[in-house]
Amino acid sequence: MQYYMSIAYAVDLTYWQQKGQNMIPLFYTSSFGEAYQWIEQQEQQKMDPFEQDVKPFYKDQWNQLRLEAEKCFEMLQGRALLWSEVLSLIRKRNIKITEETLRAVLQLLYLEEKVKWYPGVSCSKWLQDWVCHRCQADFHHIRLTRCASCGKHCAMCEHCIMLSRSRTCTPFFLFSAKKVEQQCPVEVKSLRLTAGQARVSEQILDFLQGEEMMFLLWAVTGAGKTEMMVPAIRHLLSEGKRVCWTTPRTDVVHELVPRLRALFPKENVLALYGGSSDLWMDGSIVIATAHQALRYVQVFDLIIVDEVDAFPLYQNRSLEQGIHRALSQSGKIVLLTATPPKEWLAWSRSGRLPSAILPVRFHGYPLPVPRLFQERRLWEKVKRQHPIPVLSRFIEQVIRKDGQAMIFVPGIWQVKQLVSWLHKHVREWHSICGVYSQTPERAEIIDQFRRKELQCLVTTTILERGVTVPHCHVLVMGADHPVFDQAALIQMAGRVGRSKDYQQGEVWFLSMEKTESQIQAKKQMDYLNSLAEKEGFIKQGAYYQ
């Protein structure tokens, strides 16, 4: 005896009749999760009887349904979606189909084992067993509410709610992926790799052929990681495979999409983030925020996890499992980072995690090494608008070298205090702006800074990655604050010297005391520079023309 669930009973009736199998309806419930739990645990609890009068499909109707099912499956394969998301996808693709027919279609796919399903959230008797099947979040993120859809107490997941509400009474579908293995020509804009980039991209191509599943690429800020990945992406696309580039930050998606579209002019490059117009479309290269990767299952042969150390991906079990779910059975993962966590470096040294280091930027100039300064009662002086000679010296040299200053501070209050300090003490600058996470005109201010209309930008760690302007100098005020860990300090220093035409940019760390993270950050950059020198990269001659 086999138990099945049904969201369109007429389909079961017809399907099993045709197979000559007997079938009886057991009970009816308004909650998908309740039915699922009943089958899982065989708890013979009392349920409402099934009392609907359902007729099987006519022959024509049935054939029509099979056609519809084939058409829908084509679009849904490789996706992991909640019922409401299936609807959105079907609507976006302009498929004229009623919700009722869609339910029948999904039921048929389920009986044909082309789709697996789970309730969005499982909540059994034991709290420890509660889980969101979409994002794997546990009871910490699951909330029991009175639900008007199923009329019962029903659990919802708050962890992946920015995608859509995953609930006990709603089904979550995992459509199996079709394998397409065909040779197809891929057009790539010709690109020049530096010697260092070329060596790394060779290593990645070797890794794709090999047995290992994960590869760590430690490339300094400004090394040109997009270009390095191009040969690997081209190789996979030419075999008809699909690639996903995922990142924790939407900014990175916006930045990468135009570059990859230019590099692969004939390919369909999708940008997926909340509110993107590419949502629900198909493409061979998918550039997605980490959460969007939760909507795929076993489709990608390569997933590039960019800025893998950035919040919230690092140490986030749910997103990690999402990435593994989106990976095909023989798929590979490349982890990209400029600031690898300690334990990864240990794995890499012990050979557990194959890896490559690119210690030099694309233009071949060394990384700017931070200078450390101490100042007593720093924030008190800022608050009281007392003079701070080191700060003034930093600003003087920025002005002398015709640069722009990015000043990082630990929090919002410090942004405001420092901005008013600068207004009082720096006569030469009249355009100074403060930015923090909730500044409404944030994007506009950053654009002004890029256009050189602002001379100084005071900000919190939100801009530690991403924003690069050629004439940038960086000062980290209060570098001893715990929000500035080693990785953050390296990222902030990495804003400087990105253009080969302006190498006068400086990085200063100003704090009340020297901390381990400041010392380690400086050490790491010295190490990378010496490594680059040893390997002969810090020379103009080392470049391909």
Which positions lie near another protein, rule CB under 8 A? Answer: 143, 145-149, 154, 156, 158, 161-162, 164-165, 167, 412-413, 436-438, 440
Residue 248 is encoded by which pair of tokens? 């924790």
Specify the residue, 147 or 228, whose C-beta has the smaller distance to Zn ion.
Answer: 147
Q: Does 137 bind Zn ion (CB under 5 A)?
A: yes
* Binding test (CB under 5 A) with Zn ion, winner from 147, 229, 303, 418: 147
DSSP for 474-514? EEEETTTSTTS-HHHHHHHHTTTT-STT-----EEEEESS-
Specify the residue, 291 or 495, whose C-beta has the smaller distance to Zn ion.
Answer: 291
CB of 157 to Zn ion, least distance (A): 3
In angstroms, the CA 334 to CA 351 distance is 16
145-165 in b/e form (b: 16+ CB < 10 A) is eebeebeeebbbbebbeebbb
Q: Does 35 bind Zn ion (CB under 5 A)?
A: no
Specify the residue, 274 or 387, whose C-beta has the smaller distance to another protein.
Answer: 274
Q: Does 285 bind Zn ion (CB under 5 A)?
A: no
CB of 162 to Zn ion, least distance (A): 10
In angstroms, the CA 175 to CA 180 distance is 15
Under a CB-based contact definition with an 8 Å cutoff, are residues 231 and 190 in contact? no
Specify the residue, 337 or 439, whose C-beta has the smaller distance to another protein.
Answer: 439
Specify the residue, 196 or 322, whose C-beta has the smaller distance to Zn ion.
Answer: 322
Q: Does 298 bind Zn ion (CB under 5 A)?
A: no
Q: Does 157 bind Zn ion (CB under 5 A)?
A: yes
Q: Residue 132 binds which one of Zn ion, another protein, none, with CB within 5 to 8 A depending on kind?
A: Zn ion
Q: Which stretch binds Zn ion (CB under 5 A): 155-163, 192-200, 328-336, 348-356?
A: 155-163
DSSP for 348-401? HHTTSS-EEEE-S-TT-PPPPPPEEEE-TTHHHHHHTT---HHHHHHHHHHHHT
CB of 149 to another protein, least distance (A): 4
Q: Does 200 bind Zn ion (CB under 5 A)?
A: no
Under a CB-based contact definition with an 8 Å cutoff, are residues 219 and 200 in contact? yes
* Cα–Cα nearest to 284, from 306, 305, 263: 263
Q: Does 217 bind Zn ion (CB under 5 A)?
A: no
Q: Residue 135 binds which one of Zn ion, another protein, none, with CB within 5 to 8 A depending on kind?
A: Zn ion
The torsion angles phi and psi of 113, rounded to 5 degrees, stand at: 60, 30
Interface with Zn ion: number of residues (CB under 5 A): 13
Per-position x/- string for 448-487, each x denoting binding to Zn ion as judged by CB under 5 A, each - no binding:
----------------------------------------
* Binding test (CB under 5 A) with Zn ion, winner from 75, 150, 271, 391: 150
With the C-alpha atoms ordered 515, 520, 526, 528, is the resulting torsion angle positive or negative?
negative
Q: Does 132 bind Zn ion (CB under 5 A)?
A: yes
CB of 143 to another protein, least distance (A): 6
In angstroms, the CA 239 to CA 256 distance is 23
Exposed, middle or buried, 185 (CB in 10 Å: 0-12/13-18/19+)? Answer: exposed
Q: Which stretch binds Zn ion (CB under 5 A): 39-47, 160-168, 205-213, 505-513?
A: 160-168
In angstroms, the CA 407 to CA 460 distance is 8
Tally of CA atoms within 13 A in the half-sphere of 279 that contains its CB = 20
Q: Residue 24 binds which one of Zn ion, another protein, none, with CB within 5 to 8 A depending on kind?
A: none
Residue 200 is encoded by which pair of tokens? 């790394």
In angstroms, the CA 199 to CA 205 distance is 10
Specify the residue, 438 or 545, whose C-beta has the smaller distance to another protein.
Answer: 438
Specify the residue, 31 or 201, whose C-beta has the smaller distance to another protein.
Answer: 31
* Binding test (CB under 5 A) with Zn ion, winner from 69, 72, 131, 135: 135
CB of 354 to another protein, least distance (A): 35
Q: Residue 157 binds which one of another protein, Zn ion, none, with CB within 5 to 8 A depending on kind?
A: Zn ion
Under a CB-based contact definition with an 8 Å cutoff, are residues 525 and 221 in contact? no
Give the DSSP letter of residue 60: H
Give contact residues for Zn ion (rule: CB under 5 A): 132, 134-135, 137, 147, 149-150, 154, 157, 159-160, 166, 169
